[in-house]
Structure formats: C-alpha cells, structure tokens
Chain A
Amino acid sequence: MELVEAIILSVLAASTPLLIAAAGELVTERSGVLNLGVEGMMIVGAACGFGGAWLSGSIAIGALCGILAGTLLSLIFAVMTLGLAVNQVATGLALTILGIGLSGLIGAGFVGERIAPAPHLHIPGLTEIPLVGRILFGEDGFVYLSLALVIGVWWFLYRTRAGLVLRACGDNHVSAHALGYPVLRIRLLAVMFGGACAGLAGAYLPLAYTPFFIPGMTAGRGWIALALVVFASWRPGRLVIGAYLFGAVTILQLHAQGAGIGVPSQLMSALPYLATVVVLVLLSRARTGGSTAPAALGTVFVPDR
C-alpha cells in the first residue's frame, strides 16, 4: 500500500503543472484566441520562477516571478495577434521559439543550483490518517491551488456575467462587438490570464516537482496542456480528469522503467506523447456531430469601429 500511496502522490504532482497551464489556456481559447505559445511561456516561467526563489529564498516570490514572466510574454502575443491582427498560430510558434531561447539565457546562471522545494501541508491528526491522509492533507500548496483555480474558472465561465461575455466573444466576435462589448480588451485579459497560468505552471516544475532548474525541463508539457484543452472539450471539469489521466501515464511509465520490464525505456518515455496523439484522434472522431470548440477560435478580429 505504501507504493500505491507513493504513486498517487507522484501522479498528483505530475498532473498539477498540466492542470494549471491548461486551465489558463482554456480561458484564453474560450475568448476565441488560440495561444500556441504555452510551452514558451512555461519554460520562461520555470527559469524566472527558479531564479526568483533562489535569489529571494522564498517559494512564493519564485511563483510570482513565474507568473509575471508568463504574463509579460503573453502581452507580446496579445500585441501581435490582437493589436496587429497577425496569424495566431504563427505568433504562438514564435513565442515558443523565443521562450526556449530566453529561458536558456535567464536560467544559465542557476543551472546546478538547488533550493528547498515547496513545503507540504501538514495538519496534525489528519495528515497521519493511513492511506488517504497524505493524499488529501499532505500535498504542496500548488496542488490545492490548481484545483481551486479550475473551480474558479468553472464558476467564472458559467456563473458570472463576465464569463458569459467572454464566451460570447469566443463564439461570435462580430455579434459580441455589435452588442457593444470590447472584444479585443476582453481577449487581452483572457490572454494575460492564460500567460499568468502558464508561467505559474512552469514555475511549479523547479519549485516543487524537482528542486533545480535544467534547460528544456518543460519537455513538451505546454503542448500536452494544449491537447488537454481539446481533450476536455473546452470544459473545466473534464480538464481535471484529463490532467490526472496524463499524469498517471507519465508516472506509470516511470515506475515501469524502474521495475525493469523488458521494454526499451525510450518506448515508455514516448508513451505520454503517443497517448496524446491517440486521444486527440479518438476524441475528434467521436465528435462528428459538430465541434465543441469555440466557434471563433483562432480567427482574427479587426473591429470596423
């Protein structure tokens, strides 16, 4: 049972960055903007997050640095796609290329350094409960934060007027504009929220997952987060299921490698990526009766004033 508990704990940890990044991107996409730069914002968030925590000695300041970095990068994206009406796919790719370079530059000074990882919750009495105690009451703060974030996103999108307006922008920007809503301003805020979440998700990796920074440590997680949004059919609830499923695949393949089963380790490492492809195909296939994607997703909007 010790092993099961350890596996569940590591699955939650592996899923958390995916969940945070995907929750942010979900809001961005619901406003009608496809930001493919999640990987770039995450990796810069990781470098800045680690740098901030290492210099200040505070995990919280590190997380804030990650959020700030992700938001700043998303602002570049917003200026390009919303201000200059540039193709969103190409701009997102540019953001990822830039982010990978920037994180290498920023993180060069921190490679090889270590920090004390984010502390885990400890409630006397509750955390000691066998089996479920550590899983429910002994996580690091980011795990709880990620779940609160998803609930907040759900509440915002479906229970507030602002969320309704945001979804309207994503489904039909012309109508939203005609009704007098500032489409571009709403999208700007949605893009910045996505950037902040991606930065935080990136910062989680060196702050809590592994207590050090290595270049390229996001290893495609930003792209998997993008796939998760599709997997979730742009609904926050399904995001949680998707993120934990992917986290489970990642961790189980690590344990399988550790157990030394007779399969090449590279094949096991490829599993999360292959699973993403298979899931995307299966889901897209199941949805022959019309897409659930926001109708205006990825399209350019230039107001006619």
Chain B
Amino acid sequence: MQLVLEKRAERSRTIALVSPLIAIGLTVVTMSILFVILGKNPLAALGAYFIAPLSDSYSLQEIAVKATPLVMIAIGLSLCYLANAWNIGAEGQFLIGAVAGSWIAVKTQGTGAGAWVLPAMLLAGAVAGALYALIPAICRVRFGASEILTSLMLVYVADLLLDYLVRGPWRDPAGFNFPTTAEFDPVATVPLLIEGGRLHLGSIIALAVVACAFVLLARTIKGFEIRVVGAAPRAARFGGFNADQLILLTFAISGALAGLAGIIEVAGPVGHLQPGISPGYGFTAIIVAFLGRLNPIGILIAGLFLALTFIGGEQAQITMKIPLDVTKVFQGILLFYVLACDSLILYRFKLIFASRQVHSGVG
C-alpha cells in the first residue's frame, strides 16, 4: 500500500474555502493533546484561549487593537507572496517605521506643535518602512541576492538601532534610566475611538487598507500583474510584465504598511518608544497571510483570529499558569496545518493497494 499525490485537473474551490477551517480544527485537537501533556484540563484551557476573550468588551477591543498591526502587515506580505517575492523581514520594517515616526514625536515634544504632528509621524513611518524594505528588494533585483536572508538579517539590525536610540539619544531624562522615550504629547498620539476604551483610529486605517488591497487585486491591472508573475512567471514574461519592477513595488508596499503599523502601535496603544514594542507581529503576520489564503478579506478574519490567540494566551497565563510560549507553538502548528491543507487544493491523496515494483534494483 502506498500513499501518493495526484495533481487535480483544476484547483478545488470547495477545499480552498474549507481548508483554513480544517487547519484550525486540527490545530485545536493538537493543542488539546499538548495541554494534557502540560497537565492542564484541555477544555478549560481552550475556553481560556478562545471563549473567555470574547466575553467582555475590554477584551473584544483588545482583540481589535492586536489585530490592527497583524492585518496591516499581512496585507502587504500577501502582495509579496502572491508575486513570489519572499519578504520575511516585516518585523524589521515595523520597528523602523516606529523609529522614524517617533523621531518626529521626540523632536516636537513640548514645543506646542500643532495637529500636523500625527499625520507627519504616520507618513514618516510608512516611508521609512518602504525604504527599509527596498534594501532587500534592490539587492535581489540588482544583484540577485536572496531577499529571504537579507530581509531577515535587517530585522536584527532594526532591533539594535531601536535599542541604541532609546538607551542613548532619545532616552527620557525623567525616566529613571529605563530604556524608553518620554510619553508622546497628545498631538503625537493616535486618537481613541471610544472615550476611555482601547480601540483607536488605527483599526479604521487597517480596514481601509483591506478595502484598498481588495480593489487592487480584484479590479486593477497592477493587481492582475502581481498575481500572474507569482502564479505563472513564464506567462508573465510573454505578457511583457516587468517582474523586477513588481518585486520592488510589492516590497515597497509591504514595507510601507509594516512601517505604518509600527508607528500606529507606538503612537497608539504603547504611547512611547521602547524595546519590545512588538511580540513578533511581523512573524505572526506571515501566518495571518497564509491562513487568510493571501486574500484581503481572509486576512482580516485570520488577523482577528490570531489576535484572539494573543489575548487568550495572556489570559490563560494569568488564570491557568500556561506558559506564554504555548501561543507561539500554537501559531507554528497552525501554519503547518494551513500549509498541509492547502496542498489538498492542488492535489488529491490516493491510496495504491497493488504493489507494483517500478524501480527495480535501486530503491
């Protein structure tokens, strides 16, 4: 008996829709086993992860707050991945965006600057993120260097730059030597949507980004080019599409979105620049992009789901003493199952019972 893959004549549309759900189901089963190994009641643990955060308004807002950077970054990454360009350095672009925007906030601190400060910060974050993402893209297009490795290396560099700034030149003089800038002025802060709540303007921006990406991919020539270059590079060449230009474009867009997400996070929920502003948003967004099937609407849903696991993970740590690393394990397993289920869209499994000896001698 042998299990083999057989290519389907056409992509299966049914499986394309249900595969993320199958993946989530398999992940939940695997996690239950892990909880049992850790000596926790699996039902209670799953409840803490997936049900408890949905039951009060504060947690619901917190989910939207966490989903905001995830969705924005993942939308950009999905464009890259559709064009078969592998930007895995979104975490670095996120940090550089946060640094660039914070520069304006730090320099205008206490100067009584007007309402232009926040828009300028958002712009600076997006531009800096785009420029930072263009480094690996240019290295790939001009010199043929693997964008996977260069974009990832730049994550460590961005992290160290942020660390230097908040420990050195930008450190809050009144901050008891903690590595952080002073709290941003009100004009440098992303406004809240609900007075006294957590939800802020960034979530609206994220929704706008989803809408724009939807229109770009479904209704414009550029979106079509991005999809063709990734799915059928030869056809794209015959069609006269410039693959190099599309790599630069998708990297710039995804860098800009990651940078924007970075400065929104700093000027919104965090309120100042400090190390550790991101619990790995740039990497989790990779999972969000794939779980959402590289589709803007799918990414919105997937972003909310993974935000739920962040909040659920924190609650499970407090209420059930489940280590925070379980959330990362959960996210890694989820990505595995998503990718495995996606294989079913293109292939079907076939069991062969007749034992045929094709390769005689070897193997």
Report which A residues bind B (CB closer than 8 A).
Answer: 36, 76, 80, 83-87, 89-91, 93-95, 97-102, 104-105, 108, 180-182, 185, 215, 219-220, 223, 226-227, 230, 264, 266-267, 269-270, 273-274, 276-277, 280-281, 283-285, 287-288, 291, 302-303, 305
Contact = CB atoms under 8 A, between A and B. Distances in A.
Main SS of chain B's interface residues? helix
Contacts of B224: none
B359 interface: yes
A88 B79 CA distance: 19
Contact of B290 (A90, A180, A283, A288): A90
Interface centre among A230, A264, A283, A287 (most CB of B within 10 A): A264
Given A90-B290, A223-B153, A277-B153, A97 B362 contact: no
B340 A227 contact: no
Interface in B238-274: none
Interface of B: 3-5, 7, 86, 88, 135, 139, 142-146, 148-150, 152-154, 156-157, 160-161, 163-164, 167-168, 283, 286-287, 290, 323-333, 335-336, 339-340, 342-343, 346-347, 358-363
B144 A285 contact: yes
A284 B143 contact: yes
A99 B145 CA distance: 26
A223 B148 CA distance: 10
Given A104-B325, A302-B7, A94 B336 contact: yes
Given A86-B342, A93-B286, A181-B363, A305 B153 contact: no
A161 B326 CA distance: 45
A269 B362 CA distance: 50
A98 B139 contact: no
A98 B362 contact: no
A274 B157 CA distance: 7
Contacts of B283: 93, 97
Nearest to B343: A84
Contacts of B360: 180
A97 B287 contact: yes
A180 B156 CA distance: 45
Contact of A284 (B5, B144, B346): B144
A76 B335 CA distance: 12
B339 A90 contact: yes
